[in-house]
Amino acid sequence: MEKNNKNITSRGVDFSAWYNDVIREADLIDYSSVKGSMIIRPYGYAIWENIVAVLDKKFKETGHVNVQMPMFIPESLFNIEKEHVEGFAPEVAWVTHGGDEKLEERMLVRPTSEVLFCDHYKKIIKSYRDLPLLYNQWCTIVRWEKTTRPFLRSREILWQEGHTMHATEKEARFETLQMLDVYTKFQKHYLAIPVITGRKTEKEKFAGAEETYTVEAMMYDGIALQNGTTHYFGTGFAEAFDIKFLDKDHVLKRPYQTSWGVSTRMIGGLIMVHSDDLGLVLPPKIAPIKVGIVPIGDVNNIVGNIENKLKEKDISFYTDNTDKSPGFKFAEAEVKGYPLRLEIGARDLKENKVTIVRRDTLEKIVIINDIDKIVSKIQDLLILVQENLYNQAEIRRNTMMYKANTIAEFKEYVNRSGFILTSWCGNQECEIHVKEKYGLKSRCMPLNDEASDKPCTICGKPGKHKLYYGKQY
Amino acid sequence: MEKNNKNITSRGVDFSAWYNDVIREADLIDYSSVKGSMIIRPYGYAIWENIVAVLDKKFKETGHVNVQMPMFIPESLFNIEKEHVEGFAPEVAWVTHGGDEKLEERMLVRPTSEVLFCDHYKKIIKSYRDLPLLYNQWCTIVRWEKTTRPFLRSREILWQEGHTMHATEKEARFETLQMLDVYTKFQKHYLAIPVITGRKTEKEKFAGAEETYTVEAMMYDGIALQNGTTHYFGTGFAEAFDIKFLDKDHVLKRPYQTSWGVSTRMIGGLIMVHSDDLGLVLPPKIAPIKVGIVPIGDVNNIVGNIENKLKEKDISFYTDNTDKSPGFKFAEAEVKGYPLRLEIGARDLKENKVTIVRRDTLEKIVIINDIDKIVSKIQDLLILVQENLYNQAEIRRNTMMYKANTIAEFKEYVNRSGFILTSWCGNQECEIHVKEKYGLKSRCMPLNDEASDKPCTICGKPGKHKLYYGKQY
């Protein structure tokens, strides 16, 4: 039986409308009177809180500490690193007045905080003993986007930005890849999103970075979402900011720098990978509510006992005690994407059974009304749902991955959704050609598998790198 | 033996210099190139993280959920509630440009978010079923202060702001006092700060509120720090924003509103209540590092075993394995305010003993080198230090509390540091007189003990309220 929700456009009909509908119906965000900024509502923010809790722990386990920098950057400070300024200047918000007074120097709201960290590092880095500095910041940044979409492109973004300084290039390069790995594993094991990781081309890298690594996720419609990046800066900022340290060998040297960040954009990714025409689908490990309980009739006693047992096991739940009809409650549990729905009906109880419904497959599992068995089944199913969501996403993604050895093959795949792996001569002209002629942007050169010995898919000259292309959000 | 730290001005000599010295030497903050904004360094931020973790849990236990509003407020939205605007307009930062373009309407960076919440509430409140709405937000706010001091008065402030909507006045008034109680207990049981709570006078209340309740802490120097406030708004904002709900009786009504907030200012309070000439003193329950371990000589084995045991018991520690001298390490542990210092010396171990030093009393406790006994002693001492810090603060505060029944008594106490309890006729002229002539501001009318039957301490007319006065940060 095909199901749908009358308030949600089918994703097959209009993916973009579907996305907005799911977000609205699941109460994740609200639009505000502040153009381009969204309100993250309690249910949406709870997802972010879960993401933050897991990632913050991983950052701390890898030796990082949190700090808080100012949110404003004086124009002169921002102007110190040239490439960086050029990359960000068109999309910053300027503060020009404090109260009634015009500021002597205008300030921008941070679009990212490299220069603020460097300004601080210059003061606190003196000796090799001060290194490494492994700092992270959870904060809001501002990028003055013209067109915005909830979670994907917003004027205000909640994110984390790691900023680290190291005595050696090797350490900094290790850090850049280590954090890429943290992001990759987090997306795989928690968000249930399979990703492709690799290095960005010169054209697509972060303003001011020597190298940018990226976590590229493929959405349900085959379009890419850049879902996290890590940057190796070498000593570029350290030179611009004149940061030096006295090394063990008594020589003054420049430290090597990295930065890395993920944002609420990942919630957009979560939605576009897993959700369906009935609403949100959330992986259990990140879902604020793991079990939606729907009591039908006078079943308070049993429900209370189950609730206590779920609390004991630290499994979050929501019991829908409103006066709505069971059908309405089922639909709402589906819209909200609770990984499991537990239906406890007076009639079923007479036959000594209850029903659990999986949100991912909509499969109904009827089991005997025994609290220990119910809770143990819930625990098992939560693991299965998590695994299945990842597997489904991976299988689907794999059907949308193409390999183009020739321009003919490339043209054939270009009209399909997905990622196309090519061989690339390394010349930016080919990359620009693909973007201008076919509307695809390079995603990345695959990690640990960059080299290509085949001819460039686009121009036929000797190839240097493997390179993924895809449309992007 | 009197001790001091050569990098820290004595608090008896210059309290303000002492405060800045302690903050700098303990690595809590750094000044930045952004005038009026501070950098919260890892050790300072870790204190804030502990505060957030405890309070967030208390908020959730009392039914609140977190959300995230935009950080900008369009000028027209800000202008909707008149009193509120007048209170905040002189101290807001204005964003006027996005990239190269001048905005059609300028926006301010939120100094507080009442209007943003109301704008949202107007859309989501329709029925009594939608109430209460118990929202909280952790974020940064901006107030364009002319003179700033770390933690106490800053252009950017990390804080939380609760914003709630209720169907009845009774519920909203209960919420206002409930959150005051949450703040009071948090400061007592975690920050070890005794506070006075009560209602602000009309003159001192929050712009737009019907009533403001406050948590007033007394610093070591007898000066008050307003360390948290809760506000009852009645239906003022609901009227200005035209928010209505259909009640159970089918009548359209205005909901009743509250807001409440505490900020990083509490860290300033922590410092000014407990710290001393040797540096920071932190209550164990909020200290990022509870035990500073100083190994002296080759004692790695023993230290490793103790570290494992502390980890097992979830007691945070820092082992100073640098090549600095023991004396230097002791001083550093004191500056950082670790509640306990564990000295493990090769020479002591020969006599089968180790030393624990309490940061609050500097008392040395020599105990037998037995891991279980050491860790159990540490657990006991952490409780004692927490209690002692509160008791010390309370005893000291009580010696600086005065009761003035007559203007003669008031004049006598005015030159002493501390709080003066007066009887007040309720006339703002007396309050203004005290401020202009004596430089004291009213703190609050004591909670549950407001009424006064004595003559007004200032003018001699019949008194209505008890009222505390004091100098303030």
Could you tell me the mean pLDDT of each successive run of 10 residues in chain A, 473 residues long?
Answer: 81 97 98 92 98 98 98 95 85 94 96 96 97 98 93 96 98 98 98 98 95 98 97 97 97 98 98 98 98 96 96 98 94 98 96 97 97 97 98 98 97 95 97 97 97 97 98 95
Amino acid at site B456: C
* Residues of B in Cβ contact (< 8 Å) with A129: 322
Closest CA to A130 of A242, A260, A261, A253: A253
Quote the Cα angle for A431-A433-A435, to 5°.
70
Q: Other CB atoms closer than 10 Å to residue B366's CB: what's the count?
A: 11
In this structure, are residues B119 and B77 in contact, taking their beta carbons and an 8 Å threshold? yes
- Do the bridges between strand A353-358 and strand A340-345 make them parallel or antiparallel, or are there none, so unpaired? antiparallel
What confidence score (pLDDT) does residue A396 get?
97
pLDDT in tens, B388-433: 999 999 999 999 999 999 999 999 999 899 999 999 999 999 999 9
- The whole-angstrom separation of Cα B26 and Cα B18 is 12
Residue B2 has pLDDT above 60, yes or no: no
What confidence score (pLDDT) does residue A2 get?
54
Residue pairs between chains A and B whose CB atoms are closer than 8 Å? 150
In this structure, are residues B358 and B291 in contact, taking their beta carbons and an 8 Å threshold? no
Cut 0.90: pTM above it: yes
Q: Other CB atoms closer than 10 Å to residue B318's CB: what's the count?
A: 17
Dihedral pair phi/psi, residue A35, rounded to 5°: -55, 130
B116 touches A at CB < 8 Å: yes
Closest CA to A171 of A233, A214, A121: A233
What confidence score (pLDDT) does residue A5 get?
87
Architecture of domain A291-389: 3-Layer(aba) Sandwich (3.40)
A316 touches B at CB < 8 Å: no
* Residues of A in Cβ contact (< 8 Å) with B32: 69-70, 116, 119-120
Whose tokens are 């440009």? That residue is: B97
B321 touches A at CB < 8 Å: no
ipTM: 0.96
A93 touches B at CB < 8 Å: yes
What confidence score (pLDDT) does residue A445 get?
98
pLDDT in tens, B334-355: 999 999 999 999 999 999 999 9
Architecture of domain B291-384: 3-Layer(aba) Sandwich (3.40)
Domain extent listing, chain A? 15-274, 291-389, 401-470
Instruction: For residue A248, count CB atoms less than 10 angstroms from its CB and return exposed for 0-12, middle for 13-18, buried for 19 or more.
Output: exposed
A37 touches B at CB < 8 Å: yes
Q: Which of residues 338-367 of B touch A (CB under 8 A)?
A: none
Residue B367 has pLDDT above 90, yes or no: yes
Q: Between chains, do A120 and B49 touch, taking CB under 8 Å as contact?
A: no
- The whole-angstrom separation of Cα B75 and Cα B89 is 10
In this structure, are residues B338 and B318 in contact, taking their beta carbons and an 8 Å threshold? yes
Architecture of domain A15-274: 2-Layer Sandwich (3.30)
What confidence score (pLDDT) does residue A1 get?
43
The average confidence (pLDDT) of chain B is 96
Out of B42, B74, B135, whose CB is closest to A34?
A: B74
Q: CA of A26, closest CA in chain B: separation in Å?
A: 14
CATH superfamily of the domain spanning A401-470: C-terminal domain of ProRS (3.30.110.30)
Residue B45 has pLDDT above 50, yes or no: yes
- The whole-angstrom separation of Cα A147 and Cα B320 is 52
- The whole-angstrom separation of Cα A114 and Cα A210 is 14
Share of chain B above pLDDT 90, in %: 95
What is the mean predicted confidence (pLDDT) over B130-153? 96
Residues ≥6 apart with Cβ < 8 Å to B458: B407, B410, B422, B424, B425, B430, B433, B434
- The whole-angstrom separation of Cα A55 and Cα A52 is 5
In this structure, are residues B303 and B318 in contact, taking their beta carbons and an 8 Å threshold? no
Q: CA of B350, closest CA in chain A: separation in Å?
A: 32
B53 touches A at CB < 8 Å: no
What is the mean predicted confidence (pLDDT) over B218-228? 97
Q: Other CB atoms closer than 10 Å to residue A135's CB: what's the count?
A: 24
